Structure 1
Amino acid sequence: MNRRDSIKSILLGSVATGLVINGCTTKTSSVDGLPEVKETPLYGRTEKEILRDQELFESDFFNEHELATIAVLCDIILPKSDPYVSATEAGVKEFIDFIVRDMEDQQIPLRGGIMWLDSFSNKLYNKEFIACTNEEQYDICDRIAYPEKTKPELIQGEVFFTRIRNLTLTGFYTSKEGIKELGYKGNTPNIWDGVPEEVLKKHGFEYEEAWLAKCVDQSNRGDIAKWDDEGNLIS
């Protein structure tokens, strides 16, 4: 099992399987004379929340260097692996960029972590992290990517990398591309032919022919069953 498959198996066995991606529409609304903003009713935003979202989208926190660093880290954590897209191709950089505007408690740890990363990279290779070769970047990440194996003087880097990794996985596996990769389809209609005959026989049961005709005949799958007052199936 490769690293990507390991990540997916962990997510499928955790609460991550309950996450869904939010849809959007072109419906608009306005509050107290403010400009109309795009509304996303599928995820239950109130009008005030919609306006706050607009304010967040119009604000900035990271500079270009910080965003470039985050993009490199995202693709180290989840690189492109045919047929799967990379983290940045799924919009994870933009996801993290929005998160820090929405959750201010993420700002100092992430900005400080990038500063630490560049400082450590300068000590090792005399250049900032994004200027390093791919091999050098992986060498740096390998030193801080494994909790309980990190050298004491690199714990700050470990904490930062863990935070970035968690955000990357959250952003990717709640994106359209990530949900597709997981194979999560939600509740979808299918065809049910009843309990298998061998299972029924094992427990001493069998279907009545009338039930089979009325309930398992797929040509009638759209019909609603009708019952009499005594609980007998009519049709």
Structure 2
Amino acid sequence: MDRRESLRTLVMGGMASSFFLSSCVNDKESPIEEGDIIEEKQGYGRTPAEIERDEDLMSETFFTEEEMAMITSLSDIIIPEDEESVSATEAGVPEFIEFIVKDIPEHQLPMRGGLMWLNRESSKQFNTLFVEASKENQLIIIDQIAYPQDFEKTSPGPTFFRRIKNLVVTGYFTSEPGIEYLDYRGNIPNVWDGVPQQVLEKHGMEYDKNKVSLYMKPEERGKIMKWDK
């Protein structure tokens, strides 16, 4: 099983923590009043306060250009492009992480500290910053902190990697390419043709032929039912 398929299994199994998507806004402090919901072009409702807060966060910048370059490299190491889907960067994951650390400030110190540690480790091992290291050398460091059995037990690297991996996975599999890769269909109506005939026969049952034509009409499947008052 490859890396992307492993992550897909993790997400579909419900193991991706909602912690990374939890807003730092306390709903009890800003209760939603009736009539506050606004339908946007994206197809979901947002309150005026939520829209204003999103705009404020989008107007701010937290990571430096160098830090964003590191996050971009890490994102594509964790979820690279393959024949089935695009890379994490093409799915907008670095921008997602930039937004999340502003939305949930408790990520800021661990993320910035982790990136600083990564640069120090790259300089110590290869005498260069992480983004300037070769792909092979970058993967050496990532393998050390992704599979830390033989790595320094006191190193913050593995803890940092778990955090950014969770952010990358969350960002990717909530993006349009990620949802398409999961083949998530959502609330799509299907077609029901009744209990299969072999099942009915097994249990000695059958439909009332005088009524089945009334409640099972394939030609009317696209019509919306209008109930009597």
TM-score interval, normalised by the smaller of the two chains = 0.7 to 0.9
Verify the 8 A CA contact 1:109 1:160 in the aligned structure 2: yes
Q: Which residue type is aligned with residue 200 of structure 1?
A: L
Q: Which runs of 5+ in 1 are unaligned?
A: 19-37, 228-235
1:128-164 Cα distance to aligned partner (Å, 9 max, x none): 11111111111110000136x2523463000001100
Alignment of 1:5-154 (within 5 A): 5-14=5-14, 40=40, 42-146=43-147, 149=149, 151-153=151-153
Partner of 2:210: 210
* TM-score normalised by structure 1 residue count: 0.80
Partner of 1:176: 176
Q: 1:58 to 1:126 in 2, by over 3 A?
A: same
* TM-score normalised by structure 2 residue count: 0.82
Alignment of 1:181-196 (within 5 A): 181-196=181-196
1:47-91 Cα distance to aligned partner (Å, 9 max, x none): 222212111111111000000000000000000011310000000
Larger mean CA deviation between 137-146 and 209-218 belongs to: 209-218
Q: 1:212 to 1:66 in 2, by over 3 A?
A: same
- CA shift for structure 1 position 46: 2.2
Q: Which residue type is aligned with residue 144 of structure 1?
A: I
Verify the 8 A CA contact 1:39 1:50 in the aligned structure 2: no
1:169-212 Cα distance to aligned partner (Å, 9 max, x none): 00000001100000001111222111111111222211121233
Distance in 2, matches of 1:153 and 1:180, equals 39
Q: Which has the higher contact order (CA 8 A, sep 6+)?
A: 2
Percent identity between the two aligned chains: 46
RMSD between aligned residues: 2.5
Larger mean CA deviation between 71-80 and 190-199 belongs to: 190-199
Q: Which runs of 5+ in 2 are unaligned?
A: 19-37
Alignment length, in residue pairs? 207
